[in-house]
Structure 1
Amino acid sequence: MKSIGVRMIHSLYEDGGEGSPSNPLKYKDQDYMQLKESLLKEQKIFCDETFPPNLDSVGELEGFTEKNLQQIKWIRPLELNPDAVFVKDGTSRFDFQQGHVGNCWFLAAVGVLTFRKGLMTQVVPVDQSFKDNYAGIFHFRFWRFGKWVDVVVDDFLPTLDEVPLSVSSTCGKEFWALLLEKAYAKICGSYKDMIAGNPPEAFKDLSGGVHMSYKLTTPLPDLWDVMNRAVQSKTMMGCGSFTGKKGRKINAKFNLVGGHIFAVTGLKEVESSGKKVKLVRVWNPWGELEWNGDWCDTSDLWETVRDEVRNQCVKEREDGEFWMKMEDFCTYYEEMDICCDSPNFVDGDEACLWNCSVKEGRWEAGKSAGGSDFSAKEFWTNPQYRVTVKAVEGNQKGDKNVLLSLMQKPDEEHRSEVTYHSIGLAVFQVPPKTPKGRLPPSLFENQEPVILSDFYDDRELIEFHCLDLGEYLIIPCTFDPNKTASFIITVYSKTEADLE
């Protein structure tokens, strides 16, 4: 496979600059190395005052009474198991299981993150231990709204009856996943603030990559090819099961948990009784409850394939992972998300090295939040960004060559308190020889936008488009005027594209 990737042209950081992967921001201004050196020198064990071991850090969990919450005790791993280790024989999706916190959307993303070893070491620094230079302090890294941040935590874990409240170690002694979850709970505000979410949010926070969402109820004709390219590109993939009555019916019949997020962990085409069958491998972060339909672990259909294929694929154990044919995957799951460093998997243009340009902005009510009605004079108070699309060698007319992303950056500290506005993008073609600087609405009086995106009240809007050669004006906006919020706008382009 040819080399693929993204070349950062204008971003919120330069390589090695503040907020880059090699120089992340210090969350809560906590410097891991300085804190640890001080603790070792003073022979102290860390207790994090910014995320203390108390009920405020847990939050009001669903299904827990006040009495249950009062029974929670914070215990360090070495007290839970004297043989505690940070990582045992490498990291794997089978190292952990979901607990009492409804954060399957995050844990499914962590499960597929373990396949991306380079990114995994960025998120989970491996030089951490409960033995050498132990001081009760650990750190993890997340991509947060354009920049990488380093998050420090102590190793106190919430427990009930000396069993971890949330994520648990499947072997009882490996704690990297439990502490990673705690670090993410810290940036969310509490464990309670991790409840309910979608894979794109976790994928983004674990990689900073670009994601695409697919409705499986009306699958693309080439969805299998897209997924194959995604696997080759070392992407992260997740899928969501149906909610409500349909979800309960499927769960009762096929053992698929309704309203739940799963990880997609593999693809394979096998020959069964002389016919080609496309199979998808799926993993439940509960670590149990597996599909019991065709091609499940105990299915007789495995007797119809070659012995080496069956031995390679079938593991008859309760680990939450199973195979199902592509048709069943699209029937019994509602949606799928793919996240990768570049958009190459979307159209199969493996040779393309995408350019990426990123800017921060803000809508201010009464100043720069003109809403979505481009015929209204207030519309032109919205922020403006100009981008030039140039020729791409081998690009055919009509090929999608620009991917636009608009991400809201909330002001609230607690994730559960965030209310996202309905956001979208309008794109206008700029007349030739237009001077630089902010453009007046008079230039566009007889022109409608070449792109007017759909509007969604999600954290991120992302759309793939075809733009002809020329200069364009991109206007990010909220559907209703006079909304205040910060945002990040990103343009991925198959040509060099300066975002101004």
Structure 2
Amino acid sequence: MNSISGLQPRIPVRNGTLDNPRKLFNQDFYSLRDWHLKTGTLFVDEAFSANLNSIGSGKELDLNTRNIEWRRPKEIIEHSKRPHLIVDGTSLFDILQSKTLGNCWFLCAMGALTLRRNLLENIMPTDQEYDANYAGLFHFRLWHFGEWVDIVIDDLLPFCNGELLYVRPSSANEFWPCLLEKAYAKLLGSYQNLHWGFPEEAFVNLTGGITMTFDLKNEQFQRNYLWHMVNNASPDTLMACVHSQQEGTPRNRSMSVPVVKEALDFRRGSEPITYIADNPVLSNGLVQSHAYCITDTAQVEVKNGCVKLIRLWNPWGQGEWRGAWNDKSLTWKELREEDRQTLRRVREDGEFWMSWEDFSLEFSIIILCNHIPDFLDCGEQQRRWYKRMFWNRWTKDELFSRNPQYMITVTSSDEVNKGYNVVISLMQSSRNRQKFGGQWLPIGFKVFKVESQFQDTREPLPASFFNQDKLSKLEACRQRDATMSYKLAAGKYVVVPYTVEREKEPSYLLQIFLRSKDAAIELGSVESIKEPKPQPCENVIRLSANKEHETYKSIFKRYATKEVIMKSQSLQKCLNEVFIKEFPNPNGFKFTIDGSRGLLASMDHAGRGALEIENFCRLWRYLTQFKDIFADIDSNRCGFLNSGELRKAVNRTGLNISKDLLNRMIARFGDSEDKLNFVDYLLCMVRLKTVSKTFFTLSDDGKGVYINQEKFMALMM
């Protein structure tokens, strides 16, 4: 397609990236700022209002919500000063945890981010400040469920008894910690949803990376190996740790995967971090079950050899280790003067050194995060990682084999140095926690070695593959993310994500990191089945083309007007009296007048508001084809298709759509349980078919210039 009126073709930018983030609640920062600057008013965010809905119930926080008031920074600082987003750069020492909210897990991750300026700039755009362009709003970018989201907030902050209710900046006129915390609370639904969590969850939202946890108490891993992993981590790796939990707290349970030589366990059964001010502080200065940020490591010479040191930061902004290598410890005299001057800082700021040996005894969990899991290479020769992302949702079917399945291929070259060559991360949608009583759904995944007779299949493996022995050790964890790394031998494997509570049909994101490119596919998808073909019911009798046309023509004449056209009312009557009666419809659904208008609009390319015989015949052929597909896929004859079955139906037509477009279709045509009845399914499929055909009609090369096919279809649907 040529450019029009001298305009140059534009390359479409994918939505949900850092360069083009999705706008949460469709709030555009620049449009809102321009309007409020023009009108001379300050922005008030109705999507995250300054009231108790944004705080939460307050019950879990033991908070008297009647004393809360919302104020802007300009209203609370001295008149001689003005507020700033950032003062003299960002630092982890800008952050002080409040006594009210147990969100050290988030502040720990936020502090780690200040050590990586490039990562912090990704989430905190630099085009905002308390200056001439101030209009009462700010925006931040956070990674959510596979895409970057731009979150607009107002700067009304909650106060209680004259003090900031939540995170406090160390500088009285610097507010980036408070505003970033508010943006994260908006993403999660309320401040109360920050009251417990895991540092790895925050790491993922702040970076879009892959996060793994390592158990220091697990004898499977040598502490020396973990030291090398932490000490040799790349500059973009964020690190945190969790202090040992009290006796009786559930420990991590291993995930049994019989096909792996070795697997690093993701955390299972452990309690989320919920530290607030009355949790115990030990005699050695450490806080029980508290999250700390790892800020540095060092290996220095002493008189009797060398010592491994690790530096931590407490989100309190105070409270430090009192053992060997603390700020005032005599052990610093054992170092050379040059090393002592470089490493030691004597000040009460929450940051301190301790030996790796003491750290290994006191702490239970190490958390590492990066965009790729290169920290697993642990100083070995660096090899590339390739990532595949799959969005999907579970259905209510009880059979394990009906879970989505993903085939991965490990080649002999992937076994170099016998290192980790596969990382799998399963994430459930944050909506699950909000929808289902404040708890994460129990999720997990399992990896199975694929025998030779199934290695060439592109369809999901049958129920006979998953025998009782293979399913004997299924486990699940109530966490947002479940991640494991493997050392797999060459061969093919199938990854099956699952949830114990499938009746809720939750959505998920599966990320697979491999050493080889294009080595992961979803079984049964358009990608794996290159040439899908319709598979009608065996009892459907096919008419010849001429006879078929004559049949449609006779139906058309029965319901057409004298002008030989069919309008929406006549089309509705025809569909309900002829088409529906030819198909067993257990739920009794019929075409409504709105549905009839939608079908007519999809086929009425001339814009006459009526169908002529050729368009009617084409519509009837579409409906017949889609009816046959429905009858084949709806094997239990319930009269509905779930999301997985709808995906199969679309595949049968030869159309290739993304998970995002599939979810749009479900949201537009599905019911409250994300299912489509027979009639809504037909409306959806006709719409999809005609929109796709329209795109290729309007585009000279089938690719488009101003908008790509996926974006065009999404807008039209």
Q: Which residue matches 2:334? A: 304
Distance 1:460 1:42 in 2: 44
**CA offsets 1:196-231 (integer angstroms, 9 cap, x no match):** 11111011111111122111223632111010122x
Q: CA 1:481–1:102 in 2, change beyond 3 Å: closer, same or farther?
A: closer
**Is residue 384 of structure 1 aligned with residue 405 of structure 2?**
yes
Check conservation: 2:433, 2:441, Cα contact below 8 A: no
Q: Which residue matches 1:11? A: none
User: How much does 1:480 deviate?
Assistant: 6.2
TM-score by length of structure 1 reads: 0.88
Match of 1:141, SS?
strand
**CA offsets 1:221-273 (integer angstroms, 9 cap, x no match):** 2111010122x342111111133369999833211111211101110112222
1:269 to 295, 299, 303: 299
Check conservation: 1:424, 1:479, Cα contact below 8 A: no
1:49 to 21, 46, 54: 46
Q: CA 1:393–1:190 in 2, change beyond 3 Å: closer, same or farther?
A: closer
Q: Which residue matches 1:75? A: 71
Match of 1:303, SS?
helix
Distance 2:186 2:279 in 1: 36
Q: Which residue matches 1:439? A: 461
Q: Which residue matches 2:667? A: none
Q: CA 1:412–1:470 in 2, change beyond 3 Å: closer, same or farther?
A: closer
1:417 to 430, 438, 443: 438
Distance 1:243 1:491 in 2: 31
2:514 to 473, 493, 496: 493
Check conservation: 1:423, 1:457, Cα contact below 8 A: no
User: How much does 1:455 deviate?
Assistant: 3.1
Q: CA 1:46–1:191 in 2, change beyond 3 Å: closer, same or farther?
A: same
Q: CA 1:314–1:399 in 2, change beyond 3 Å: closer, same or farther?
A: closer
Q: Which residue matches 1:344? A: 374
User: How much does 1:453 deviate?
Assistant: 7.1
Q: Which residue matches 1:327? A: 357
User: How much does 1:479 deviate?
Assistant: 4.3
Q: Which residue matches 2:96? A: 97
Q: Which residue matches 2:394? A: 363
Check conservation: 1:344, 1:350, Cα contact below 8 A: no
Q: Which residue matches 1:7? A: none
Check conservation: 1:382, 1:477, Cα contact below 8 A: yes
Check conservation: 1:143, 1:206, Cα contact below 8 A: yes
Check conservation: 1:266, 1:281, Cα contact below 8 A: yes
Q: Which stretch of the first structure deviates more once superposed, 296-305 or 266-275?
A: 266-275
User: How much does 1:492 deviate?
Assistant: 0.2
| Structure 1 unaligned spans of 5+ | 1-13, 371-377
User: How much does 1:436 deviate?
Assistant: 2.5
Match of 1:87, SS?
coil
Check conservation: 1:410, 1:418, Cα contact below 8 A: no
What is the correspondence of 1:83-482 to structure 2 with a 5 Å cutoff?
A: 83-99=82-98, 100-218=100-218, 220-221=221-222, 222-230=225-233, 232-244=234-246, 251-348=281-378, 349-365=380-396, 367=397, 370=398, 378-392=399-413, 395-396=416-417, 398-412=418-432, 414=434, 417-429=438-450, 431=452, 434-442=456-464, 444=465, 454-479=475-500, 482=503
Tell me which protein shows more helix as a share of its residues. Answer: 2
Check conservation: 2:327, 2:352, Cα contact below 8 A: yes
| Structure 2 unaligned spans of 5+ | 1-10, 250-277, 523-717
Bigger Rg, structure 1 or 2: 2
Q: Which residue matches 1:5? A: none
Match of 2:521, SS?
coil
Q: Which residue matches 1:40? A: 37
**CA offsets 1:261-288 (integer angstroms, 9 cap, x no match):** 1101110112222421101100000001
For 1:440, give the aligned amino acid: P
RMSD between aligned residues: 2.7
Check conservation: 2:307, 2:355, Cα contact below 8 A: yes
Q: CA 1:160–1:249 in 2, change beyond 3 Å: closer, same or farther?
A: closer
For 1:323, give the aligned amino acid: W
Distance 1:15 1:123 in 2: 23
User: How much does 1:94 deviate?
Assistant: 0.6
Distance 2:467 2:460 in 1: 18
Q: CA 1:451–1:460 in 2, change beyond 3 Å: closer, same or farther?
A: farther
Q: CA 1:304–1:345 in 2, change beyond 3 Å: closer, same or farther?
A: same
Distance 2:126 2:474 in 1: 42
Check conservation: 1:250, 1:332, Cα contact below 8 A: no
Check conservation: 1:268, 1:280, Cα contact below 8 A: yes
Counting aligned pairs with the same residue, the percent is 36
Q: Which residue matches 2:572? A: none
Match of 1:244, SS?
coil
User: How much does 1:487 deviate?
Assistant: 1.0
TM-score by length of structure 2 reads: 0.62
Q: Which stretch of the first structure deviates more once superposed, 473-482 or 117-126?
A: 473-482
Match of 1:468, SS?
coil
Q: CA 1:425–1:479 in 2, change beyond 3 Å: closer, same or farther?
A: farther
Match of 1:254, SS?
coil
User: How much does 1:392 deviate?
Assistant: 2.6
Distance 1:249 1:163 in 2: 22
Distance 1:363 1:233 in 2: 37
User: RCO (CA 8 Å, sep 6+): is it higher in 1 or 2?
Assistant: 1
For 1:227, give the aligned amino acid: V
**CA offsets 1:285-326 (integer angstroms, 9 cap, x no match):** 000111111100110111221222222222211110000000
Q: State the number of aligned residues.
A: 473
Distance 2:62 2:500 in 1: 40
Match of 1:173, SS?
coil
Q: CA 1:330–1:435 in 2, change beyond 3 Å: closer, same or farther?
A: closer
Distance 2:12 2:375 in 1: 25
Q: CA 1:485–1:430 in 2, change beyond 3 Å: closer, same or farther?
A: farther
Distance 2:36 2:333 in 1: 59
Q: Which residue matches 1:6? A: none
Q: Which stretch of the first structure deviates more once superposed, 239-248 or 190-199?
A: 239-248
**CA offsets 1:460-480 (integer angstroms, 9 cap, x no match):** 111111333333322211246
For 1:291, give the aligned amino acid: W
Distance 1:203 1:480 in 2: 27
Check conservation: 1:270, 1:305, Cα contact below 8 A: yes
Check conservation: 1:109, 1:203, Cα contact below 8 A: yes
Q: CA 1:63–1:428 in 2, change beyond 3 Å: closer, same or farther?
A: closer
Tell me which protein shows more strand as a share of its residues. Answer: 1
**CA offsets 1:108-127 (integer angstroms, 9 cap, x no match):** 00000111111110111122
